[in-house]
Amino acid sequence: MTDDTTTAEAPETDHDEVERDEADIAGDYIEELLDICDLDGDIEIEERGGRVYLSVTDDGDSLRVLSKPETVTALQELTRIAVQAETGEFSRLILDVAGSRDTRASELQRLVDTAIERIEGGSSSAALPPMSSYERKLVHDLVAEKGFHSESEGEGRDRHTVVTR
């Protein structure tokens, strides 16, 4: 019986260690990047729904240069590559710099509200500008909350979301 218990628990322990390793690698990568850029920042790491979330914050305005949505997306991809290079596993981590994700989520909410207003005004659909897969996921959730439908269309950098009734 002891062998069955040990066998059943081993994969869970390995899974937890992989997540912890991913978080540690990502945190170390971002910390080194901040050092190279001579920027101060506090790194908070948490795990939600099987994803690692890294938030980089500061007390002042020094992270402003890194908090633009395109820059955060690029840093996130570089961090994912660093994790994958070390673990051999694809990383789905999410990076936030100086609250940029919350700011972008508010912008996306406004885009969705405007799209829905256009549809309620008579349009059959409303296309949103191209955005990252993470942002499209947020848009799909926001649209569904409003009782509308959305689909991603296009390829690569032109991939965007179309909202319909």
- 67-79: buried (b, 16+ CB within 10 Å) or exposed (e) per residue? bebeebbebbeeb
* Per-residue pLDDT tens digits for 132-164: 888 898 999 999 999 999 999 999 889 999 999
What are phi and psi for residue 12, nearest 5 degrees? -65, -45
Pair (88, 20) in one structural domain:
yes
Pair (64, 7) in one structural domain:
yes
Q: What is the pLDDT of residue 4?
A: 42
State the CB neighbour count (10 A cutoff) for residue 57. 14
Pair (134, 93) in one structural domain:
no
Is residue 95 classed exposed, middle or buried when 0-12, 13-18 and 19+ CB atoms within 10 A define those classes? buried
**In this structure, what CATH number is given to the domain that contains residue 155?**
3.30.1370.50
Pair (81, 36) in one structural domain:
yes
Pair (81, 108) in one structural domain:
no
Pair (118, 64) in one structural domain:
no
pTM of model > 0.85: no
* Per-residue pLDDT tens digits for 80-138: 999 999 999 999 899 999 988 888 889 999 999 999 999 999 999 999 999 888 889 89
Domain that holds residue 50: 2-98
Pair (27, 94) in one structural domain:
yes
Domain boundary among 66, 81, 98: 98
Pair (92, 137) in one structural domain:
no
* Per-residue pLDDT tens digits for 21-66: 889 999 999 999 999 999 989 999 998 888 889 999 988 788 988 8
Q: What is the pLDDT of residue 129?
A: 94
Domain boundary among 78, 98, 118: 98
- How many separate domains does the chain show? 2
Confidence grade of residue 11 (pLDDT, cut at 50, 70, 90): very low
Pair (72, 128) in one structural domain:
no
Q: What is the pLDDT of residue 13?
A: 41
